């Protein structure tokens, strides 16, 4: 547990002790090292937070907000990845075509050289 969580837990325990009548607000404030006025402010915030946490909630996971910018960027990335894939396929195809043409020229040259040798 982190230091802030430990402090919050200590405060909550003292507030519960005061609320249950085990200690006075003055004693609780003293244990926390704060004024009684500050104690009551903390107590109010704590009780408000507890009430909010205990409000009725819809069952299941909470609905996540739609981040349109994130959706737009995700779609843009998907489009760019598709464009990159297509470009890489075109480059590979062009390289294959150039290699094929090079082989054809070499074969034609070789055939021509054999034909010249056979004529002589």
| Ramachandran bin of 2, using left for φ above 0, alpha for ψ from -120 to 50, beta for the remaining angles | beta
CB atoms within 10 A of CB 18: 20
* CA gap 38, 45 in Å, rounded: 11
Q: Which whole number is the average pLDDT over 96-110?
A: 93
* CA gap 15, 32 in Å, rounded: 10
Structure tokens at 10: 């200590």
pLDDT at residue number 87: 95
pLDDT at residue number 26: 96
* CA gap 15, 50 in Å, rounded: 12
pLDDT band, very low/low/confident/very high, at 59 (cuts 50, 70, 90): confident
* CA gap 101, 17 in Å, rounded: 89
Tell me the pLDDT tens digit for each residue of 6-35. 999 999 999 999 999 999 999 999 999 999
């Amino acid at each position: 547990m982190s230091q802030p969580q430990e402090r919050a837990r200590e405060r909550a325990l003292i507030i519960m002790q005061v609320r249950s009548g085990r200690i006075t607000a003055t004693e609780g404030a003293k244990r926390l090292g704060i004024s009684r006025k500050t104690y009551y402010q903390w107590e109010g915030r704590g009780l408000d937070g507890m009430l909010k946490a205990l409000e009725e909630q819809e069952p299941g996971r909470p609905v996540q907000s739609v981040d349109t910018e994130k959706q737009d960027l995700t779609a843009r990335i998907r489009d760019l990845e598709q464009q990159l894939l297509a470009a890489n396929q075109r480059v590979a195809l062009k390289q294959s075509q150039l290699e094929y043409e090079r082989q054809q020229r070499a074969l034609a040259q070789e055939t021509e050289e054999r034909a010249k040798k056979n004529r002589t």
